[in-house]
Amino acid sequence: HSLRNIDELCASIVRSHRETSQYRVEELQALRWKLFSREEIQAYQNKSVDDMWQHCAIRLTDAVQFVVEFAKHIPGFRMLSQNDQIALLKTGSMEVVLVRMSRFFNTENNTVFFDGKFAGAEIFKSLACGDLITAVFDFAHGMCALKLTEQQIALFSALVLINADRPCLEDRSRVQRAQKSVELGLMHILHRDNQENLMHKLYQRMAVLRSLCSLHMEKLRWFSQRYPLTAHSLFPPLYKELFS
Ligand SMILES: CCS(=O)(=O)c1ccc(CC(=O)Nc2nc(-c3ccccc3)c(C(=O)c3ccccc3CC(C)C)s2)cc1
Protein backbone atom coordinates (compact mmCIF):
# COMPACT_ATOMS: atom_id res chain seq x y z
CA HIS A 1 0.00 0.00 0.00
CA SER A 2 1.79 3.10 -1.13
CA LEU A 3 0.76 6.22 0.76
CA ARG A 4 -0.79 7.52 -2.46
CA ASN A 5 -3.21 4.57 -2.59
CA ILE A 6 -4.25 5.13 1.02
CA ASP A 7 -4.68 8.86 0.40
CA GLU A 8 -6.83 8.12 -2.65
CA LEU A 9 -8.88 5.55 -0.70
CA CYS A 10 -9.52 8.06 2.11
CA ALA A 11 -10.45 10.79 -0.36
CA SER A 12 -12.96 8.55 -2.19
CA ILE A 13 -14.58 7.38 1.09
CA VAL A 14 -14.81 10.96 2.44
CA ARG A 15 -16.31 12.16 -0.88
CA SER A 16 -18.82 9.30 -0.89
CA HIS A 17 -19.80 10.02 2.73
CA ARG A 18 -20.35 13.69 1.92
CA GLU A 19 -22.37 12.96 -1.22
CA THR A 20 -24.65 10.44 0.51
CA SER A 21 -25.03 11.97 3.95
CA GLN A 22 -28.76 12.90 3.51
CA TYR A 23 -28.31 15.97 5.76
CA ARG A 24 -25.19 18.11 6.16
CA VAL A 25 -23.91 18.99 9.63
CA GLU A 26 -24.37 22.75 9.14
CA GLU A 27 -27.94 22.14 7.90
CA LEU A 28 -28.97 20.37 11.10
CA GLN A 29 -26.90 22.60 13.40
CA ALA A 30 -29.29 25.37 12.35
CA LEU A 31 -32.26 23.22 13.44
CA ARG A 32 -30.76 22.13 16.78
CA TRP A 33 -33.27 24.08 18.86
CA LYS A 34 -36.30 23.35 16.76
CA LEU A 35 -38.17 21.14 19.24
CA PHE A 36 -41.60 19.48 19.18
CA SER A 37 -44.41 21.22 21.08
CA ARG A 38 -46.24 19.48 23.92
CA GLU A 39 -49.16 18.83 21.59
CA GLU A 40 -46.92 17.31 18.92
CA ILE A 41 -45.27 15.07 21.55
CA GLN A 42 -48.73 14.01 22.76
CA ALA A 43 -49.73 13.17 19.19
CA TYR A 44 -46.72 10.85 18.79
CA GLN A 45 -47.38 9.27 22.19
CA ASN A 46 -51.03 8.68 21.26
CA LYS A 47 -50.09 6.74 18.14
CA SER A 48 -50.71 2.98 18.24
CA VAL A 49 -47.66 0.71 18.53
CA ASP A 50 -47.96 -0.50 14.95
CA ASP A 51 -48.53 3.01 13.58
CA MET A 52 -45.42 4.38 15.28
CA TRP A 53 -43.31 1.38 14.22
CA GLN A 54 -44.45 1.83 10.63
CA HIS A 55 -43.77 5.58 10.82
CA CYS A 56 -40.21 4.96 12.08
CA ALA A 57 -39.50 2.02 9.76
CA ILE A 58 -40.23 4.25 6.75
CA ARG A 59 -37.82 6.94 7.98
CA LEU A 60 -35.18 4.46 8.95
CA THR A 61 -35.41 2.88 5.48
CA ASP A 62 -34.86 6.32 3.90
CA ALA A 63 -31.67 6.63 5.94
CA VAL A 64 -30.60 3.08 5.03
CA GLN A 65 -31.04 3.85 1.32
CA PHE A 66 -28.39 6.58 1.60
CA VAL A 67 -26.04 4.12 3.36
CA VAL A 68 -26.49 1.66 0.46
CA GLU A 69 -25.42 4.48 -1.91
CA PHE A 70 -22.44 5.25 0.37
CA ALA A 71 -21.37 1.58 0.27
CA LYS A 72 -21.62 1.37 -3.54
CA HIS A 73 -19.08 4.20 -3.90
CA ILE A 74 -16.49 2.57 -1.60
CA PRO A 75 -13.77 1.05 -3.88
CA GLY A 76 -13.26 -2.12 -1.77
CA PHE A 77 -17.01 -2.73 -1.47
CA ARG A 78 -17.87 -2.39 -5.16
CA MET A 79 -15.42 -5.19 -6.11
CA LEU A 80 -17.15 -7.75 -3.84
CA SER A 81 -19.76 -10.24 -5.13
CA GLN A 82 -23.42 -9.19 -5.02
CA ASN A 83 -24.09 -11.75 -2.26
CA ASP A 84 -21.24 -10.47 -0.11
CA GLN A 85 -22.38 -6.86 -0.63
CA ILE A 86 -25.90 -7.83 0.56
CA ALA A 87 -24.48 -9.80 3.52
CA LEU A 88 -22.42 -6.78 4.64
CA LEU A 89 -25.38 -4.39 4.21
CA LYS A 90 -27.73 -6.77 6.09
CA THR A 91 -25.66 -6.47 9.25
CA GLY A 92 -23.84 -3.16 8.69
CA SER A 93 -26.35 -0.67 7.25
CA MET A 94 -28.24 -0.12 10.53
CA GLU A 95 -24.91 0.32 12.32
CA VAL A 96 -23.83 3.02 9.85
CA VAL A 97 -27.24 4.74 10.19
CA LEU A 98 -26.71 4.88 13.96
CA VAL A 99 -23.19 6.30 13.53
CA ARG A 100 -24.56 8.93 11.14
CA MET A 101 -27.56 9.82 13.37
CA SER A 102 -25.23 10.30 16.34
CA ARG A 103 -23.66 13.28 14.57
CA PHE A 104 -26.90 15.21 15.13
CA PHE A 105 -27.55 14.18 18.71
CA ASN A 106 -27.94 17.28 20.88
CA THR A 107 -26.19 16.35 24.14
CA GLU A 108 -27.42 19.52 25.88
CA ASN A 109 -31.09 18.50 25.78
CA ASN A 110 -30.75 14.79 24.84
CA THR A 111 -32.62 15.08 21.55
CA VAL A 112 -32.25 13.34 18.19
CA PHE A 113 -33.28 14.62 14.78
CA PHE A 114 -36.62 13.02 13.84
CA ASP A 115 -39.37 14.14 11.44
CA GLY A 116 -37.79 17.54 10.83
CA LYS A 117 -37.28 18.59 14.48
CA PHE A 118 -35.33 17.46 17.53
CA ALA A 119 -37.07 14.89 19.72
CA GLY A 120 -36.46 13.57 23.24
CA ALA A 121 -36.79 9.85 24.06
CA GLU A 122 -40.35 10.40 25.36
CA ILE A 123 -41.58 10.85 21.76
CA PHE A 124 -40.79 7.19 21.01
CA LYS A 125 -42.83 5.84 23.96
CA SER A 126 -45.50 4.24 21.77
CA LEU A 127 -42.85 2.02 20.12
CA ALA A 128 -42.96 -0.01 23.37
CA CYS A 129 -39.22 -0.70 23.22
CA GLY A 130 -37.78 1.67 25.82
CA ASP A 131 -34.60 -0.36 26.28
CA LEU A 132 -33.74 -0.06 22.56
CA ILE A 133 -34.45 3.70 22.58
CA THR A 134 -32.34 4.17 25.72
CA ALA A 135 -29.52 2.16 24.12
CA VAL A 136 -29.67 4.32 20.96
CA PHE A 137 -29.53 7.54 22.99
CA ASP A 138 -26.67 6.19 25.13
CA PHE A 139 -24.75 5.17 22.01
CA ALA A 140 -25.27 8.63 20.46
CA HIS A 141 -23.97 10.21 23.68
CA GLY A 142 -20.87 8.02 23.56
CA MET A 143 -20.21 8.91 19.92
CA CYS A 144 -20.56 12.66 20.59
CA ALA A 145 -18.03 12.36 23.41
CA LEU A 146 -15.41 11.26 20.83
CA LYS A 147 -15.94 14.52 18.86
CA LEU A 148 -15.12 12.82 15.54
CA THR A 149 -14.60 14.94 12.42
CA GLU A 150 -16.67 14.21 9.30
CA GLN A 151 -13.60 12.61 7.70
CA GLN A 152 -13.08 10.34 10.72
CA ILE A 153 -16.81 9.44 10.66
CA ALA A 154 -16.58 8.63 6.94
CA LEU A 155 -13.67 6.19 7.45
CA PHE A 156 -15.24 4.74 10.61
CA SER A 157 -18.52 4.16 8.72
CA ALA A 158 -16.65 2.35 5.93
CA LEU A 159 -14.90 0.18 8.52
CA VAL A 160 -18.23 -0.64 10.22
CA LEU A 161 -19.56 -1.74 6.84
CA ILE A 162 -16.57 -3.66 5.47
CA ASN A 163 -16.19 -6.21 8.25
CA ALA A 164 -14.81 -9.65 7.44
CA ASP A 165 -16.31 -11.13 10.65
CA ARG A 166 -19.87 -10.81 9.33
CA PRO A 167 -21.86 -14.06 8.91
CA CYS A 168 -22.47 -15.82 5.56
CA LEU A 169 -19.65 -14.27 3.48
CA GLU A 170 -18.67 -16.21 0.33
CA ASP A 171 -15.21 -14.69 -0.16
CA ARG A 172 -14.09 -13.77 3.37
CA SER A 173 -10.44 -13.24 2.44
CA ARG A 174 -11.44 -10.67 -0.18
CA VAL A 175 -13.48 -8.78 2.44
CA GLN A 176 -10.49 -9.06 4.80
CA ARG A 177 -8.24 -7.33 2.24
CA ALA A 178 -10.79 -4.54 1.74
CA GLN A 179 -11.19 -4.21 5.51
CA LYS A 180 -7.40 -3.99 5.97
CA SER A 181 -7.21 -1.11 3.47
CA VAL A 182 -9.98 0.83 5.22
CA GLU A 183 -8.31 0.20 8.59
CA LEU A 184 -5.06 1.63 7.20
CA GLY A 185 -7.06 4.60 5.89
CA LEU A 186 -8.65 5.25 9.28
CA MET A 187 -5.27 4.93 11.06
CA HIS A 188 -3.75 7.29 8.46
CA ILE A 189 -6.47 9.90 9.13
CA LEU A 190 -6.16 9.51 12.93
CA HIS A 191 -2.34 9.73 12.70
CA ARG A 192 -2.64 12.89 10.61
CA ASP A 193 -5.04 14.31 13.22
CA ASN A 194 -2.68 13.24 16.02
CA GLN A 195 -5.48 11.13 17.54
CA GLU A 196 -4.24 7.51 17.27
CA ASN A 197 -5.62 6.97 20.80
CA LEU A 198 -9.14 7.07 19.24
CA MET A 199 -8.58 3.74 17.41
CA HIS A 200 -9.26 1.46 20.37
CA LYS A 201 -12.21 3.64 21.44
CA LEU A 202 -13.68 3.20 17.94
CA TYR A 203 -13.33 -0.59 18.22
CA GLN A 204 -15.21 -0.39 21.55
CA ARG A 205 -17.92 1.64 19.78
CA MET A 206 -18.17 -1.11 17.15
CA ALA A 207 -18.83 -3.69 19.87
CA VAL A 208 -21.63 -1.49 21.32
CA LEU A 209 -23.06 -1.08 17.80
CA ARG A 210 -23.24 -4.87 17.35
CA SER A 211 -25.19 -5.31 20.60
CA LEU A 212 -27.45 -2.35 19.72
CA CYS A 213 -28.32 -3.83 16.34
CA SER A 214 -29.04 -7.28 17.75
CA LEU A 215 -31.41 -5.55 20.21
CA HIS A 216 -33.09 -3.85 17.21
CA MET A 217 -33.49 -7.26 15.49
CA GLU A 218 -34.88 -8.79 18.70
CA LYS A 219 -37.47 -5.97 18.99
CA LEU A 220 -38.35 -6.30 15.33
CA ARG A 221 -38.97 -10.06 15.81
CA TRP A 222 -41.19 -9.28 18.81
CA PHE A 223 -43.06 -6.62 16.79
CA SER A 224 -43.50 -8.86 13.70
CA GLN A 225 -45.03 -11.61 15.86
CA ARG A 226 -47.46 -9.21 17.48
CA TYR A 227 -48.32 -7.23 14.34
CA PRO A 228 -47.67 -9.65 11.43
CA LEU A 229 -49.87 -7.72 9.00
CA THR A 230 -48.07 -4.40 9.53
CA ALA A 231 -44.61 -6.01 9.46
CA HIS A 232 -45.27 -8.07 6.32
CA SER A 233 -47.40 -5.75 4.23
CA LEU A 234 -46.86 -2.19 5.48
CA PHE A 235 -43.11 -2.04 6.12
CA PRO A 236 -40.85 -0.85 3.27
CA PRO A 237 -39.50 -3.84 1.26
CA LEU A 238 -35.88 -2.80 1.85
CA TYR A 239 -36.46 -2.75 5.62
CA LYS A 240 -37.89 -6.29 5.49
CA GLU A 241 -35.11 -7.56 3.22
CA LEU A 242 -32.30 -6.16 5.36
CA PHE A 243 -33.66 -6.66 8.86
CA SER A 244 -35.86 -9.75 8.71
C1 LIG B 1 -28.77 8.81 9.08
C2 LIG B 1 -28.49 9.97 8.15
S3 LIG B 1 -28.73 11.53 8.92
O4 LIG B 1 -28.57 12.56 7.94
O5 LIG B 1 -27.91 11.60 10.06
C6 LIG B 1 -30.39 11.57 9.45
C7 LIG B 1 -31.38 11.52 8.50
C8 LIG B 1 -32.73 11.53 8.90
C9 LIG B 1 -33.02 11.63 10.24
C10 LIG B 1 -34.46 11.63 10.66
C11 LIG B 1 -34.81 10.21 11.13
O12 LIG B 1 -35.11 9.34 10.35
N13 LIG B 1 -34.70 10.00 12.46
C14 LIG B 1 -34.93 8.80 13.08
N15 LIG B 1 -34.70 8.67 14.37
C16 LIG B 1 -34.97 7.42 14.83
C17 LIG B 1 -34.75 7.12 16.24
C18 LIG B 1 -35.67 6.33 16.92
C19 LIG B 1 -35.45 6.08 18.28
C20 LIG B 1 -34.32 6.60 18.94
C21 LIG B 1 -33.41 7.39 18.21
C22 LIG B 1 -33.62 7.66 16.86
C23 LIG B 1 -35.43 6.54 13.85
C24 LIG B 1 -35.77 5.13 13.96
O25 LIG B 1 -36.69 4.69 13.29
C26 LIG B 1 -34.95 4.25 14.82
C27 LIG B 1 -33.59 4.52 14.85
C28 LIG B 1 -32.76 3.70 15.61
C29 LIG B 1 -33.27 2.61 16.33
C30 LIG B 1 -34.64 2.38 16.30
C31 LIG B 1 -35.49 3.19 15.56
C32 LIG B 1 -36.96 2.91 15.63
C33 LIG B 1 -37.27 1.46 15.28
C34 LIG B 1 -38.76 1.23 15.51
C35 LIG B 1 -36.95 1.18 13.82
S36 LIG B 1 -35.53 7.39 12.35
C37 LIG B 1 -32.03 11.69 11.21
C38 LIG B 1 -30.69 11.67 10.80
Q: In this predicted model, what pLDDT tens digit does every residue of 102-111 receive, in sequence order?
A: 999 999 999 9
Distance 229 CA to ligand 1 centre (A): 23
Instruction: Tell me what the mean pLDDT of segment 168-179 comes to.
Output: 97
Q: Which atom of ligand 1 is nearest to the CA of 62?
A: 12
For the cut 90, the answer to whether the pLDDT of residue 2 exceeds it is no
Neighbours of 47 (CB within 10 A): 16
Distance 57 CA to ligand 1 centre (A): 9
Q: How far apart are the first and last CA of the chain?
A: 38
How far is residue 90's CA from residue 181's CA, in Å, rounded to a whole number?
21
For the cut 60, the answer to whether the pLDDT of residue 176 exceeds it is yes
How far is residue 168's CA from residue 159's CA, in Å, rounded to a whole number?
18
**Does an H or E element contain 59, and which?**
helix 49-72
How far is residue 138's CA from residue 171's CA, in Å, rounded to a whole number?
35
- CA quadruple 53, 131, 158, 177: dihedral sign: negative
Average pLDDT, the chain: 95
Question: What are the start-end ranges of the H helices in the chain?
Answer: 3-19, 25-29, 38-45, 49-72, 75-78, 82-102, 130-146, 150-161, 172-192, 198-226, 228-229, 237-243
Residue 244's pLDDT is what? Answer: 83
Q: Which atom of ligand 1 is nearest to the CA of 212?
A: 29
Which residue owns the Cα nearest ligand 1 atom 37?
113
| pTM of the complete model | 0.96
Distance 121 CA to ligand 1 centre (A): 12
Helix (H, G, I), strand (E, B) or coil at 107: coil
**pLDDT class of 62 with cuts at 50, 70, 90:** very high
Q: Which of 59, 97, 102, 131 to mutate to test the pocket of ligand 1 (most atoms within 8 A of CB)?
A: 59
Instruction: Say what percent of the chain tops pLDDT 70.
Output: 99
Q: Judge contact between 100 and 139, C-beta under 8 A.
A: no
How far is residue 97's CA from residue 22's CA, in Å, rounded to a whole number?
11
Q: Which atom of ligand 1 is nearest to the CA of 223?
A: 34
The set of protein residues with a Cβ atom below 6 angstroms from ligand 1 is: 21-23, 53, 56-57, 59-60, 63, 97, 100-101, 103-104, 112-114, 124, 127, 132-133, 136, 216
Q: Judge contact between 196 and 190, C-beta under 8 A.
A: yes
For the cut 60, the answer to whether the pLDDT of residue 1 exceeds it is no
Which residue owns the Cα nearest ligand 1 atom 22?
112
Residue of 212, 235, 193 lying closest to 102 (CA atoms): 212
* ipTM value for the complex: 0.98
Instruction: Tell me what the mean pLDDT of segment 60-84 comes to.
Output: 95
How far is residue 73's CA from residue 80's CA, in Å, rounded to a whole number?
12
> 1-15, 125-139, 184-198 — which is least confidently predicted?
1-15
Which residue owns the Cα nearest ligand 1 atom 20?
133
